[in-house]
Chain A
Amino acid sequence: MATQANSYELFHQIRDTLDQHYDRRERLIKLSRDITQQSKKLIFHLLRINATNRDRIFAEADKRHQDILALFTRAAPELQGSDRWRYAGNITGGLQEYIEALALWWFLRDRVLITIDDIEAQLNLVLPDPSQPRWVVLPSDYLLGVADVGGELMRHAISSLAKGDPNDALQICTFLQSLCGDFETLTGPGQREANKKLVVLRQCLAKVETACFQAQLQREEYGDKVDVTLWTEEESADAPHTSYG
């Protein structure tokens, strides 16, 4: 009889433990999804940048960033110590999207690749008290997040060319070439996610390289007289463009 009572108590404890674990996981999955959504909006916002609206775009980005950071602050206490790894898979989606947004922002502003330290500094910015839970960015989160910026920069490069700014596109091209090169040395067998992203990154790079090459040909043939709207399909809504007629 004694063991029966013990078993009852034990399963009660297991129930509480599992409930707590499932609830926490659920909360983090929700936060991760919210962070993803807001980060996506931040990315779209940043891509509306042009030569005249830089300051306005960055100021607005700052505001949006604060909202995202508030979500991260809510998640932080649940991800301390060994729990960082326990729930790594539940939060990584949002974190990667956020890193992608930050990486895009940093590139547009300073033409540099954001570092893990930069990201951690942003995430822990809102923590005035050093005893408060801190955010740790895992190298895998960083790599997978940064890899995604290739797609955004490709879009930006193409639209820069469309706006007649081949310089910008060339800078992106150089940046992506270096990023892709770094990635090649960091991926390998057993890193399925990273390898998949590398494939996409290579494709993005190839598109930017081809676009830059074509732009160069155009310039050789027509010089600066070329009307950019003739050879591009994309037109930015923000850009004041000349009409066909």
Chain B
Amino acid sequence: MLRFILRRLLAGVILLFAVSSLAYLLLYLGAGDIARQILGQEATQEQVQQLNTRLGLDQPLLTRYFGWLAGAVTGDFGASWFTNQPVIAAITSRLAVTLSLVIGTVTLTAIVGTALGVWAARKRGAADRTVQIVSVLGFAIPGFLIAIFLVNLFALNLKLFRPTGYIPIGTSFTGWLSTVTLPIIALAIGAIAAIAAQVRGSVIDTMRQDWVRTLRSRGLSENRVLYKHVLRNAGGPALAVLAVQFVGLLGGAVIVEQIFAIPGLGPIATQSTGQGDIPLVMGLVVVTAALVVVVNIVIEILHGFLNPKARIS
């Protein structure tokens, strides 16, 4: 087990290195004149030159990259070029906000998606068709449209929730709920659709297996067959989908956070990428890639937990 984790972590480090190198290269190629971008229309050309020199933008690509890498390895990601805030501080103060959204979404998705999938698989008929249609819809409608609809209905017209902003859970739990409920629903609908469809399909497939018939013939109750045996087998693929969803949700959160003006990673991700704020973008790339690596390791361990065949000895 420990060996497995170590191997995975090593692979993760290599992945991080590859991803950050590629990201740095892409940023370098697409950056344009960042110093002018930072200073705006009022600055003179001399000021722009000075800033280029100060930020090391006149250095060759490799010098700059290794400079960044040397800092990054020691945990020094520098400071944002546009707000002067240290990158680590910028990310840590916002990561928890985004993660609370994403984890809330994943939890909601796992519960509602599984329930819907199982229900459809068991009832079949009209219930099944309804779930299928709803999941296609949920899949097809982009999260940001759902977000805009939710804000208009529940925040602006019914005034049940706050239209924008974020209240930390420590300040007020109800305040926190009033700010995260709509974003989580907006994010979850697409994910629930995917999970429900996946669970439904796997449960139906598993129910057709010979061993299920054997279990039934031994007199096990239908509930016991379903929850103890079938769902466990069907859970593997669903978990894999959920893992992919988690990563996708980090991207989805970027847009939803913009719409709700939530101070998570989303606003700085879009701003820093658009502006060419290389230190901040690189910090975000590393953190996101690390998250992906960690989530995948966790999912694989969970997978073994559900399915002894996949268990790592």
Chain A complexes with chain B: no
Interface, chain A (partner B; CB < 8 A): none
